Amino acid sequence: MSNPRIQFFLRNLKNSQWRVREESAEALGEVGDTEAVPYLIDALQDKNWHVREAAALSLGLMDDERAVGPLTKVLDDPKANVRYGAALALSSVGNETALLKLQKLTSDEHEIVRKMASFAVDEIKKNI
């Protein structure tokens, strides 16, 4: 870990305040350094859904296949916002392994999640 800015955000992913963790997850996505991928994957399990959503969205910006499995698991999250974020992220980084769960998500109870899952399925199919 050579970049002090990344180190700062990585440390703050463990902050006691969820807003700080959320902002740090978002900032790591904006920075785009794949060094953060394992930490963002861990943040997908955060107790606060805002942090989980931010981590999912940031992983979608990283274009790193290590995120596909963990993002696919998050498609089962109880919060629609997190499922939406994971589906959006998978529309960028997803592969064949994510398709089955995304296809199931096209029947989600929330319309926005259904639409994003359909979009993600279409995007992945274009790229395989």
From first to last of its 128 residues, what are the pLDDT tens digits of the chain? Answer: 568 989 999 999 999 999 999 999 999 999 999 999 999 999 999 999 999 999 999 999 998 999 999 999 999 999 999 999 999 999 999 999 999 999 999 999 999 999 999 999 999 999 88
pTM across the whole model: 0.95
Q: What's the total number of domains in the chain?
A: 1
Q: Which domain holds residue 75?
A: 4-127
Residue 13 belongs to a domain with what CATH number?
A: 1.25.10.10
User: Measured between alpha carbons, how far is 127 from 121 in angstroms, rounded to an integer?
Assistant: 10
